Amino acid sequence: MLRVIPLGGVTEIGKNMTIVEQDDDILIVDCGLMFPENDMLGVDIVINDFRYLIERADKVRGVILTHGHEDHIGALPYLLRDLNVPIWGTRLTLGLVDAKLSEWGLDEQATKHVIEAGETVTIGPFTIDTMHVGHSIPDGIGLGIHTKEGIIVHTGDFKFDPTPVDGRMTDFAGFERLGNQGVLLLITDTTNVERPGYVPSERIVGQTFYDVFQRAERRVIIATFASNIHRIQQAIQVSADFGRKVAILGRSMAANTDIASQLGYLDVPADTRIAVPEIDFLAGHQVTILTTGSQGEPMSALSLMASEEHKKVQIQPGDTVIISATPIPGNEDLVNRTINHLFRLGADVVYHPLAPVHVSGHAYQDEQKMMYNLVRPRYVLPFHGERRHVAQYARLVESLGHPADRVLKMEPGDILELSDGSATIAGHIDGGPIMVDGLGIGDVSHIVLRDRQLLAQDGILVAVITVERDTGKVIAGPEIVSRGFVYMQESEPLIEEAKLRIRADLESLQESEGVPDWGTVKADVRSSLSRFFYAVTGRQPMIIPIVMEA
């Protein structure tokens, strides 16, 4: 029996984790986290439900990681807490994993195996060929997993950069060799299947940096992803070429550059890096600042600079700011706001698409076609994309002659069973997603989320009375407290009127009944206040009546 179970988020499929199960052995590919959807208010991150794995703990042989991005390694601490499985990955990937696990105090217990791309590793019954792939973080790999039913190729996140910054080309030969052996299933990154052609080389970003530096008369501030080591390398190299010193701002940027330098993935020329306070002792044309905040994240270094709240760096007229990224969907507004603020402060802002300051890490259509034609699989499972990407990928490979019924359109958690060269979807596991808020994992239910959405719309109003237990007589209150509904200090008449209505409700009830049923009282107060506030304000705050018995 061979099963493949791609997990994922609400819309994305197989992005964060794929389970390969052969008889009594399970191999896990990647263990990433997801970011919350816009309506998941207050939720920090989203992970998968690992119950399927935990219930089969004795079968799990290990996790193999394709690269070091958060959406591929970020959920490891949540898995390892419950299931201490060995981890395989390349050197940089494991370096980033180490940093993460040590924050959680899990680094000592973890067993790690370093992979050199190109080598073949054995995990349980699986022989796995590894192939270097280009991506927006170094040291990514694709996998050729040999199973008893045939070969499964998992591309990882990939693109084919013809002139990579580190000179390491994608291992075309490795993929082709597997193709020649006959591939049962290609699990492939389809993020950019809507874009024609090829991803431009990362090197064009370096060229843009060069052009910008040539005309910059004062400081250059470059915001990019902390994990894009090649981008950071280019920024440092161009700075050194122009005799600029480089300061690094932002916790993740500092941590990642340290790890990458120590492991030899980042080459910082001697005397180039300076500490942040040294910026002030140098002239503008001698300084480059590398920073986080390319997504406009409100607490990031660049956003704080843009809103004049950064403690150490103030934007000065004439500074040049390069936003070396494109907004991740959902972040457009934040990035836009940052750009506007920077212009307002007199900076010259260089951003996509007005200048080629960013290239994607994911293959475009022609690269997808090339990968397909190297591997020539019997089945394809498009991953890392949403429904729209799956639909477009199906079109793409059908145009190459792939049979339509061998494109697998799966939901996250669907179980794919492969046997004798045929594939069927045979059931479903509950793989999440699970919301993490603070220390709580999965305890933010849809009820809590719905309440947060209501609270965000029109706020809340709490009305309290204290009554004598035996008589039902009101001995204190009504007291009213509200937040996010109206500004209490300016709304006294409204609140007083509401109190009068509560008293009137109580009186009419008490006349008729003696000690009232407090459940009914609360329901009455809620609906009468709700009507009153809607009529007067047009708003519908959440109304919570509380009856205290003394």
By annotation, the residues acting in catalysis are: 189, 362
Which two structure tokens, joined as six digits, stand for 219? 């400081």
380 phi and psi, to 5 degrees? Answer: -125, 140
Range list of β-strands (E), 283-343: 287-291, 320-323
Position 544 contacts a second copy (CB under 8 A): yes
- Interface residue with a second copy among 57, 481, 500, 515 (CB under 8 A) is 481
Q: Given the complex with a second copy, which of 82 and 468 has the nearer CB atom?
A: 468
Q: Given the complex with a second copy, which of 379 and 485 has the nearer CB atom?
A: 485
Site string for a second copy, 342-361 (x = CB under 8 A): -xx----x-x-xx-------
Number of residues that bind a second copy (CB under 8 A): 72
Position 457 contacts a second copy (CB under 8 A): yes
User: What secondary structure letter does DSSP report for 34?
Assistant: B
Q: Given the complex with a second copy, which of 54 and 548 has the nearer CB atom?
A: 548
Q: Given the complex with a second copy, which of 251 and 344 has the nearer CB atom?
A: 344
Position 515 contacts a second copy (CB under 8 A): no
Position 512 contacts a second copy (CB under 8 A): no
Position 542 contacts a second copy (CB under 8 A): yes
Beta strand 87-89 with 60-64 is: parallel
Contacts (CB under 8 A) with a second copy, residues 6-35 = 11
User: What secondary structure letter does DSSP report for 212?
Assistant: H
Position 337 contacts a second copy (CB under 8 A): yes
**Which of 86, 97, 75, 155 is CA-nearest to residue 121?**
86
Position 451 contacts a second copy (CB under 8 A): yes
- Interface residue with a second copy among 149, 171, 189, 458 (CB under 8 A) is 458
Position 442 contacts a second copy (CB under 8 A): no
Q: Given the complex with a second copy, which of 179 and 432 has the nearer CB atom?
A: 432
Position 333 contacts a second copy (CB under 8 A): yes
Contacts (CB under 8 A) with a second copy, residues 460-479 = 460, 462, 464, 466, 475-477, 479
Query: How large is the greatest C-alpha to C-alpha distance in the chain, in angstroms?
Result: 89
- Interface residue with a second copy among 204, 254, 282, 448 (CB under 8 A) is 448
Min dist CB 447 to a second copy, Å, is 6
293, 300 in Cβ contact below 8 A? Answer: yes
Give the Å distances, CA to CA, from 66 to 80, 96, 161. Answer: 17, 12, 17
Contacts (CB under 8 A) with a second copy, residues 411-440 = 437-440
Looking at beta carbons, which pairs linking 41-46 to residues 24 or more positions away fall under 8 Å?
Answer: 41/449, 41/452, 41/453, 41/456, 42/437, 42/444, 42/452, 43/435, 43/436, 43/437, 43/444, 43/449, 44/436, 44/437, 44/438, 45/74, 45/436, 46/9, 46/432, 46/433, 46/434, 46/435, 46/436
Q: Which stretch binds a second copy (CB under 8 A): 38-46, 112-120, 184-192, 274-282?
A: 38-46
CA angle 208, 220, 218 (to 5 degrees): 120
Contacts (CB under 8 A) with a second copy, residues 391-410 = 391-392
Three-state SS at 339: helix
